Structure 1
Amino acid sequence: MIRPIKALAYSLIVLIVSSCGKSQNNVSEFESWQTLFDGKSLDGWIPKIHKHEVGENFGNTFRVVDGAIQVNYDQYEVFEEKYGHLFYKEPFSSFHLKWEYRFTDQWMSDAPDFTFRNSGVMFHSQDPNTILKEQDWPVSVEYQMLADAGDGNPRPTGNMCSPGTQVYFEGVSDPRHCINSTSETFPWDEWVRAELIVYEDSLVMHLVNGDTVLRYTKPHVNFSGGVVNRFPKDLFEEDRPLKSGYIGLQAEGQGVEFKEIKIKKLD
């Protein structure tokens, strides 16, 4: 049994050690975040635009403007299905990704209607160096970003889309190409805070402005939806679990900006 005075001293020691431990953990947590975009350049990022080779930033589609990565089409005459993606240079497996986005008032009129105020962030994607010149979409999973289209209809953001893939939703294999989240509809020019928490192929969570709006599991390769065309079939085994891959910012005919892109690797 610990005497009262000794007990008090013991409690103080435990409190101090505990406080120091929490402080050290907080520093460790802060230091574990890795900045993917320095706010000044596209260093560390690899463009891949449909109908062009890996590394070719056709029309200066991806550029840095006022501290944000901007998707801009002012050097395009026509869109011609030049779907683009800007990939970070290294793959990730289990991670917590944060970024902010907003749309611009620029939209290519010859792009498909579904691209209006629509963009996304791809993850668990194939290596950009394996994407063929004429391949339209990377085999990946997408955190889809939408905004108010001005027609009065709800347009939740933080949805899931699945080019060349499929997921389990509410415990069941779901064949839908896109699954809507529970988020509200946001104005197109408002900055939105997006987060993606991924544990390999076990669990994926989408967050919008701090709220969890979608959960699903078991992302895996599946080409039954027919979304991805002219891809290197020898690299993909049907139903193979997706445990890791690359992160890519999307460009599909709609102007958009990304900033504050950070990632923390998870155990």
Structure 2
Amino acid sequence: MKNIICLLIIGLLFVTSCKEKKAETVAQKTELNNWQPIFNGTNLDGWTPRITGHPLGENFGDTFRVSGGILSIRYDAYGDDFDNRFGAIYFNEKLADYRIKVEYRFVGETAPGAPEWGFRDSGIQFHSQSPASLKPDQPFPVSLEYNLHGGNGTDERPVGAICANGMFVELNGQKNTSYCTPPVIKRTFHGDQWVTLEIDVKDSLIRHYVNGEEILSYANPTYNPEHEIAKTLIFNGDARVKDGYISLQSNSHPIDFRKIELLKY
């Protein structure tokens, strides 16, 4: 009798466990189906351009433009000198826990007068200070960045490094010691092919993905108290970075974006 009772208890526990796991799986699938487009494919509604040396909202040289469902960044109106006019276009909503998914591709040639590192270089900035708080001559916001690199056809140029401007992050429990830290899993994409990136931000844990593969994770972003601008963002001694703005960089190389989607947790 005791054996029968034990078997019944084990069976009940097994069924309960299976039901709980199934419920978790269904919840996860439901959550991942709640993607919302934040680029409408028609215009720049919901986004604000900001280019160094120009007022917030001024789309100098039609840098950010939409055609055929694609948000393109171009420099044909910059003349012969890019002149360090770095910029970005900011999604207007401040975000905390979320997952963003973006399809992008590099095209064309780097703008004349751009820095050498500008070749097929861009990024998705997030946990950023507000665009309105940037100084007129400030090229980049205090933020984290999922760095975008495109291959040159020969060399490896892995996508997905974490660049921390005015911030620290923890990688394997250790504070970063360099401005940019390469991904653990290295993937290079040559040519003008479309690539899908994702950034997952939840409970101070951040993960980078490319084409569905996790390539890097880190945690606990904090403002650098010795950084001239970042230290002004620390309130009541709390340096933790809990939220901020998302933006797409205009770094001097033409790039296209499409299917920009957001999932809020």
User: TM-score category by the smaller chain?
Assistant: 0.7 to 0.9
> Secondary structure in 2 aligned to 1:254?
coil
Q: Provide the C-alpha distance between the structure 2 equivalents of 1:211 and 1:25, rounded to a whole number of angstroms.
A: 17
Q: Structure 1's 253 and 233: CA in aligned 2 closer, same or farther, altered over 3 A? A: same
- 1:147-175 Cα distance to aligned partner (Å, 9 max, x none): 1124x321110111111112111110112
What is residue 93 of structure 2 aligned with on the other side?
A: 90
Q: Which runs of 5+ in 2 are unaligned?
A: 1-14
Alignment of structure 1 residues 169-208 onto 2, 5 Å: 169-181=171-183, 182-200=185-203, 202-208=204-210
TM superposition shift of 1:234: 3.5
- Please, which of 104, 114, 119 is the counterpart of residue 111 of structure 1? 114
Matched, 1:143 2:142: no
What is residue 102 of structure 2 aligned with on the other side?
A: 99
For the 8 Å contact 1:143–1:206, the answer to whether it is kept is: yes
What is residue 248 of structure 2 aligned with on the other side?
A: 249
- 1:67-102 Cα distance to aligned partner (Å, 9 max, x none): 111000111112100001100000110111101000
What is residue 156 of structure 2 aligned with on the other side?
A: 154
What is residue 129 of structure 1 aligned with on the other side?
A: 132
- 1:128-151 Cα distance to aligned partner (Å, 9 max, x none): 11112111110100000101124x
TM-score normalized by the length of structure 1? 0.84
Q: Structure 1's 174 and 233: CA in aligned 2 closer, same or farther, altered over 3 A? A: closer
Deviation beyond 4 Å, 4+ runs, structure 1? 24-29, 236-239
What is residue 216 of structure 1 aligned with on the other side?
A: 218
> Secondary structure in 1 aligned to 2:254?
strand
Q: Structure 1's 58 and 94: CA in aligned 2 closer, same or farther, altered over 3 A? A: same
Q: Which stretch shifts more, 40-49 or 164-173?
A: 164-173
Q: Provide the C-alpha distance between the structure 2 equivalents of 1:29 and 1:191, rounded to a whole number of angstroms.
A: 22
For the 8 Å contact 2:224–2:231, the answer to whether it is kept is: no
Q: Provide the C-alpha distance between the structure 2 equivalents of 1:91 and 1:180, rounded to a whole number of angstroms.
A: 27
Q: Provide the C-alpha distance between the structure 2 equivalents of 1:105 and 1:236, rounded to a whole number of angstroms.
A: 41
What is residue 3 of structure 1 aligned with on the other side?
A: none
Q: Provide the C-alpha distance between the structure 2 equivalents of 1:213 and 1:55, rounded to a whole number of angstroms.
A: 34
TM-score normalized by the length of structure 2? 0.84
Q: Structure 1's 169 and 72: CA in aligned 2 closer, same or farther, altered over 3 A? A: same
For the 8 Å contact 2:223–2:233, the answer to whether it is kept is: no
Q: Which amino acid aligns with 2:172?
A: E
What is residue 8 of structure 1 aligned with on the other side?
A: none
> Secondary structure in 2 aligned to 1:106?
coil
What is residue 80 of structure 1 aligned with on the other side?
A: 83
Q: Which amino acid aligns with 2:130?
A: D
For the 8 Å contact 1:132–1:232, the answer to whether it is kept is: no
For the 8 Å contact 2:167–2:230, the answer to whether it is kept is: no
What is residue 7 of structure 1 aligned with on the other side?
A: none
TM superposition shift of 1:109: 2.8
Q: Which amino acid aligns with 2:97?
A: S
> Secondary structure in 1 aligned to 2:208?
strand
Q: Provide the C-alpha distance between the structure 1 equivalents of 2:28 and 2:199, rounded to a whole number of angstroms.
A: 22
Percentage of identical aligned residues? 36
> Secondary structure in 2 aligned to 1:114?
helix
Q: Which runs of 5+ in 1 are unaligned?
A: 1-10
Q: Which amino acid aligns with 1:185?
A: T
- C-alpha RMSD over aligned residues: 2.6
Equivalences, count:
244
Q: Which amino acid aligns with 1:79?
A: F
Q: Structure 1's 222 and 232: CA in aligned 2 closer, same or farther, altered over 3 A? A: closer
> Secondary structure in 1 aligned to 2:61?
helix
TM superposition shift of 1:108: 1.1
Q: Structure 1's 76 and 217: CA in aligned 2 closer, same or farther, altered over 3 A? A: same
- 1:180-204 Cα distance to aligned partner (Å, 9 max, x none): 112321013010010000115x211
TM superposition shift of 1:103: 0.4
For the 8 Å contact 1:53–1:132, the answer to whether it is kept is: no
Q: Which stretch shifts more, 126-135 or 78-87?
A: 126-135
